[in-house]
């Protein structure tokens, strides 16, 4: 793992290059995702029509796809975008929203993983366990109590994700109170953030867009560390019991948070398997 000061250099590089980020996300969060990408200094496009999605993918620098609020048309668009991204070696992230809550999403996710190479596979611990074990305790799109990352099960969940990382030759990101970035030989835990992030719809989708942006200039592990720290430390600074105030200040923080704030507050630790 690179040191944090090296990783933070990606922020200025991203602003200088201003790459086009293609996010096929759900309509619940599309505005938040696009704005988060723009606030970082990149450009956003959220094309999801099957007849144009390959063309848009081919001119983009990074792609993220999202299983939230899934429709037949968006499923087709995701398949076409993933195929086009792989052909051009464009970084590709997938957000496994709700994959543990319905057979449709579970089967579709496994089809995508079998037919495409993803740089990053992201989900909460219920979603990742659904992929790893074929079952989970998901509560809709939210993590179930039995799947939450705790001191007693963190090693077990990391090993489950490690098996996925090896199987799909991908980086696995598990989000929650404790976040785990899992590769084949180690995992990184990030312990920043506040509970209010789970009370605002679309923050997980925003995180995927942020990480996808940094994947244009960094590897998936470093991009995930940086994306998590920006979102979660901005949330710590913005935290208040007035949720809409929290949301507005969080959006400001994504683009304006200082490197020194990130360095001082970061709670990041790498653990070897």
Q: Would you say 171 is a known binding-site residue?
A: no
CA distances to 136, 199, 244 from 147, rounded to whole Å, are: 7, 19, 29
Q: Would you say 258 is a known binding-site residue?
A: no
Q: Would you call 69 exposed, middle or buried from its count of C-beta atoms within 10 A (0-12, 13-18, 19+)?
A: middle
Measured CA to CA, the distance from residue 227 to residue 42 in angstroms comes to: 14
DSSP 68-96: TT--HHHHHHHHHHHHHHHHTT--EEEE-
Q: Helices H, strands E: what count in the chain?
A: 11, 9
Q: Would you say 122 is a known binding-site residue?
A: yes
Orientation angle between helical segments 72-87 and 103-115, nearest 10 degrees: 20
Instruction: Specify binding-site residues for substrate.
Output: 202
Instruction: Specify binding-site residues for ATP.
Output: 122, 175
Instruction: Specify binding-site residues.
Output: 122, 175, 202
């Amino acid at each position: 793992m690179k040191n944090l000061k090296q990783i933070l250099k990606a922020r200025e590089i991203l602003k200088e290059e201003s790459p086009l980020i293609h996010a096929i996300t759900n309509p619940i969060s599309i505005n938040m995702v696009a704005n988060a990408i723009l606030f970082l200094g990149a450009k956003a496009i959220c094309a999801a029509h099957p007849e144009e999605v390959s063309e848009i993918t081919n001119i983009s620098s990074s792609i993220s796809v999202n299983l939230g609020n899934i429709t037949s048309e968006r499923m087709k668009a995701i398949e076409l975008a993933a195929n086009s991204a792989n052909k051009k070696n464009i970084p590709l992230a997938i957000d496994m929203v709700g994959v543990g809550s319905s057979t449709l999403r579970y089967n579709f996710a496994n089809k995508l993983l079998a037919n495409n190479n993803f740089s990053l596979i992201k989900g909460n611990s219920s979603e990742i366990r659904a992929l790893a074990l074929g079952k989970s305790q998901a509560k809709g799109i939210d993590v179930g109590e039995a799947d939450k990352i705790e001191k007693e099960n963190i090693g077990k969940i990391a090993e489950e994700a490690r098996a996925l990382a090896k199987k799909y030759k991908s980086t696995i990101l598990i989000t929650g109170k404790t976040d785990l970035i899992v590769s084949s030989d180690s995992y990184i835990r990030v312990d920043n953030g506040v509970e209010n992030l789970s009370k605002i719809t679309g923050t997980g989708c925003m995180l995927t867009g942020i990480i996808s942006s940094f994947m244009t200039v960094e590897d998936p592990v470093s991009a995930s560390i940086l994306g998590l720290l920006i979102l979660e430390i901005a949330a710590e600074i913005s935290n208040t019991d007035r949720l809409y105030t929290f949301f507005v200040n969080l959006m400001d923080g994504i683009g304006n948070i200082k490197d020194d704030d990130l360095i001082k507050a970061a709670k990041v630790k790498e653990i070897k398997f």
